[in-house]
Amino acid sequence: MRRRPARAWIRCIDGCCWRKRGILVRSHRKEAIMRRRDQIALKKGPISGLAEEVGVPQKHGLGAVRESLWPWILWTVVMAVVAWGIAASLQRFHRPVELGSRWVLWFLLVLPVLAFYAFRFHSRRQSTWGFSRLALLASIPPGIRTYFITLPFSLRCGAFALLIFAAAQPRLVNVFERSEDEGIDIVLVMDVSLSMEANDLEPNRFVAARNVMSDFVKQRPKDRIGFVIFGRDAYPYCPLTRDHHAIQRLLGKLRLRQIDDGQATAIGEALGTALNMLSSSKGKSKVVILLTDGANNSGEMAPRESAEHAAALGVRVHTVLVGSPSGEGGGLFGLRAPTDPELLEHIAARTGGMAFIATDKKALENRFQRILDLMEKNKFEHRIRTTSGVQDRFLAAAVLLFFLEMLLSLTWLRRLP
């Protein structure tokens, strides 16, 4: 066997040290090369630095730009597909869509920021695996999977976009159902002062008037009806509504001493409150039915002034005087209560209405029936609007994208540590 020369330098497998007469000596030249390689890797990334060191040609110009833009192109394609899917699914419903929480969509602006952070620091990620021949690793051409290495992250961003859109609570607006009904706007104004407790109408004026008004509401199913009660002051008891069941419940709960105003009567204030209720009405015909048993002796607004306002607004006022015009039986224990039928006639005449006097229950019913016959009818158009949530569909699509992202990350696009 031929003996090697004693002065021969034999290179080790790792290429970093030599053996001379059985003694390992670290090469200063190799240490300098390693330090230089680390500096290049920190500046340009581990792969580019390695390729530069071993002499592998680097991509410059258009090729480098294409490599830097490819993750953004892939991310944009995925987000565009998600946006197209959302738009196509909404268009498929053939109905308008509204969002319950539009402000949630502002979180979509976070996704481009996350993408920038991920793609910016993606190239700096270093592998924990070591290779003995780095020149061979750098010379290996990239496969097709390297172009889709950021696809899982793009799918995750698409899933988050779907979750954000689902959190915005998209709702389908059902087709408006239009129907034309005939009706007018009516405000019932009722005196609830203590003088209404007189029993010249069975069982007393208050109960008789309340029952007649309840029957009146039943006979006007398509009208919008409001309610005002008054004594010393006036109070809106029920706004204009077509919910006549609610009006009937409120009438059933109405009591004579519900407002403790004694025997004072503020007719001007009551009429003004009714006009305020009708001020926002868009109906062509507006009617006020004023029922009282006394004369105006309270309130800051004069009844005649209120009548002028009603005439200017085109509101027709029908007045009903309950009890005897002389005031007999109009108070407690048979006391007389002052009345002013001339004032009620003036209000009705000034506004184009009619003035009635009801001395008993039958007469009161007849007067209200006469008012019903005098009322004209208008056409109203109301809409029924319903919504139904569809966020569960977008949640299901988000779960599907998350599942696809995990499947690709664990199989075809699996990354080594």
- Tell me the per-residue pLDDT of 15-53, one tens digit each, with 9 for 90 and over: 444 444 444 444 555 556 666 655 554 444 444 444 444
How do residues 363-373 score in pLDDT, each as one tens digit? 877 878 888 77
**pLDDT value at residue 274:** 92
- Give yes or no for a contact between 271 and 317, defined as CB atoms under 8 angstroms apart: yes
pTM of the model: 0.49
For residues 86 and 6, which has the higher predicted lDDT (pLDDT)?
Answer: 86
381: confidence class by pLDDT, cuts 50, 70, 90? low
Q: Is the peptide bond before 170 cis (omega within 30 degrees of 0)?
A: no
Pick the CATH number of 181-382 from 3.40.50.410, 3.40.50.150, 1.10.599.10, 3.30.70.20: 3.40.50.410
Structure confidence at residue 147 (pLDDT):
72
Give me 253's structure tokens: 């709960």
Which pLDDT belongs to residue 275? 92
Mean pLDDT of the residues in the chain: 74
DSSP code of residue 279: T
Phi, psi of 118 (to 5 degrees): -70, -45
- Token pair listed for 121: 């620091």
52's tokens: 């530069």
What's the pLDDT at 369?
81
Tokens 């953004």: give the residue. Answer: 72
Residue type, 361: K
Domain ranges of the chain: 24-58, 62-175+391-410, 181-382
Distance CA 333, CA 330 (A): 9
Q: Collapsing DSSP states into helix, strand and coil, what is residue 144?
A: helix
pLDDT higher than 60, residue 227: yes
Query: Terminus-to-terminus CA distance in the chain, angstroms?
Result: 46
Give the pLDDT of residue 189.
92
Structure tokens at 245: 């069941």
